[in-house]
Amino acid sequence: MTKVNQKKPTAGPKPQQAASSLLKGEKVSFDDKDTEKRVSDEDLNSRYAKGEMRIVTEQARYPLAGILAMLKEQVEGAGGKMEPRYKLDPEYQRRHRWSPERKSRLIESFLMNVPVPPVFLFERELARFEVMDGRQRLTSLGDFYANKFALIGLEQWADLNGRTYSELPSKIQDGINRRYISSIILLKETGGDDAKAAELKKMIFERLNSGGVKLASQETRNAVHGGPLNSLCISLSENESFRRMWRIPLDPSPEEKDVNEEDADEEFDEPTKAGLRMFKNMEDVELVLRFFAYRQITPKFNLNKISEFLDRFISEGNNFPATLLAEYKTMFEATVAFFWNALGVESFTVLNPSKKRPAKIVYDPLMFVANSAAVVPHHALLVAKKSVLRDELKKMYERNHELFSGRRTNFQDTQDRNRCVSDAFAAAIAKSKK
């Protein structure tokens, strides 16, 4: 076995030189805003009496027969633009979609009067709502009344399998129509300002989902910090080359069964179950966000706390001007195109034939350095001499395997990886010019 040299790299530009300069208005502060001052009992009592961090709710019941009309209802929003009164934004909720069998079981529950959990709504504006929890239940009911699926897999009412709503016997239609679904509405008064409302929404959303399948970080972030930057990350995650490099199906379906198992014989350009899981958990969106946030790397940056770092970044980044987000879009697409043309589907692997899975710990420094002022002007040259770049990166990985193993997660480790990648790019550029 070849002995691997794991010594710490010393050559190459400082990480500040490798990084692209921050754009105007891009700087985000990651300083802790909380103080360590001890709060007295008197202060705590005063805060409680004022109602700080207190949820204001009301309850409502919606007849099932009116759900379809409710979901279609439009109201005038900002600037006179029409928008749904009940916002079922697919970017807000999880990418998991219920199968016809699960939708049918919900209908059977209502038919039998089995208790169904309430939906949770957030009042974003006066009498305008977002669905925090229960989107699948509401959309399933809407689809059922719109005859978009036939019942399947019913157990107690198996004789109804194969029928849509309009094909049900009249008495059974009447029985379902008289049922209600309950809701708990978090009123606008809950949050005193936008920042406080976002904090409370995050806490509530996480607690609502704590009893079921655990939400991935980006799913929660997506629900709480919706905005222009979040929408941009979702859009950019659909980049075809980006999806190929991360082995994500180009047209993912949460019910897709035909993706390959990850084994030693799989082809590089085939989607994998890991790639499909990434899509379901919105990890592809988080990868785009990481690219932008990584530009702001500071001594406080720790990969073990990357979720907190990304939460703070997207919270402030949603307020970036449209011109800055347009530059972000160009930056990401150009960097992804460069890697696709230079290294193809192997871009974020360790360029080791025995390891075909892309890795975040490789992705971060590669995207960071490839987007730097020292490298961007040489993209065309490096693509033309792609074998040189591949060789330099491969040698760098072999010399510093431990650094890219995934166990080195503090700030200094990120700096060392940036130096390694920067050195490899510098060497490739120098050799390509000869």
The model's pLDDT over 144-172, given as tens digits with 9 standing for 90+, comes to 999 999 999 999 999 999 999 999 999 99
**What whole-number distance in Å separates Cα of residue 159 and Cα of residue 4?**
67
Give the pLDDT score at 3: 43
Confidence of residue 214 (pLDDT cuts 50, 70, 90): low
Please indicate whether residue 349 or residue 326 has the higher confidence score (pLDDT).
326
The predicted pLDDT at position 193 comes to 64
Residue type, 145: Y
Q: Is the pLDDT of residue 390 over 80?
A: yes
Most confident range (mean pLDDT) of 195-199, 214-218, 312-316, 383-387 is 383-387
Token pair 């130096």: residue: 419
Mean of the pLDDT values across residues 110-114? 94
Please give the residue that has the higher pLDDT: either 280 or 284: 284
- Hey, which of 38-42, 78-82, 172-176, 196-200 has the most confident mean pLDDT? 172-176
Q: 269 vs 246, which has greater pLDDT?
A: 246
Give residue 264's pLDDT.
34
pLDDT of residue 31: 66
pLDDT at 47: 65
Q: Which of 103-107, 127-131, 295-299, 354-358 has the highest mean pLDDT?
A: 103-107
The average confidence (pLDDT) of the chain is: 82
- Residue 410 CB partners (closer than 8 Å, separation 6+): 302, 303
Contacts with 67 (C-beta within 8 Å, 6 or more apart), sequence order: 138, 141, 142, 145, 181
Per-residue model confidence (pLDDT) at position 98 = 84
CA 370 vs CA 85, 294, 295, 366: distances in Å:
44, 13, 12, 6
More confident residue, 369 or 411: 369
Q: How many residues does the chain have?
A: 434
Q: What is the mean pLDDT of residues 88-93?
A: 57
pLDDT band at 260 (very low <50, low <70, confident <90, very high): very low
Taking the CA atoms of the chain, what radius of gyration do you get in angstroms?
26
Region 52-78 average pLDDT: 87
pLDDT at 30: 75
Q: Show the beta-strand stretches assigned E in 46-107.
A: 57-63, 74-76, 82-84, 86-87
Residue owning tokens 């040299």: 5
Across the chain, which distance is largest between two alpha carbons, in Å? Answer: 84
Beta bridge partners of 76: 82
pLDDT given at position 94: 56
pTM more than 0.75: no
Among 29-38, 312-321, 328-337, 381-390, name the one with the lowest average pLDDT: 29-38
- Does residue 191 sit in helix, strand or coil? coil
Banded pLDDT at 434 (limits 50, 70, 90): confident
Q: What percent of the chain has pLDDT over 90?
A: 50
Instruction: Say if strands 119-125 and 180-186 run parallel, antiparallel, or are unpaired.
Output: parallel
146: number of Cβ within 10 Å:
15
- Taken in order 290, 291, 296, 300, is the CA torsion positive or negative? positive
Task: Quote the CA–CA distance of 367 and 422 in Å, as a whole number.
Answer: 11
Measure the CA angle with vertex 278, ends 270 and 273; round to 5°.
Answer: 40
Give SS3 for 128: strand
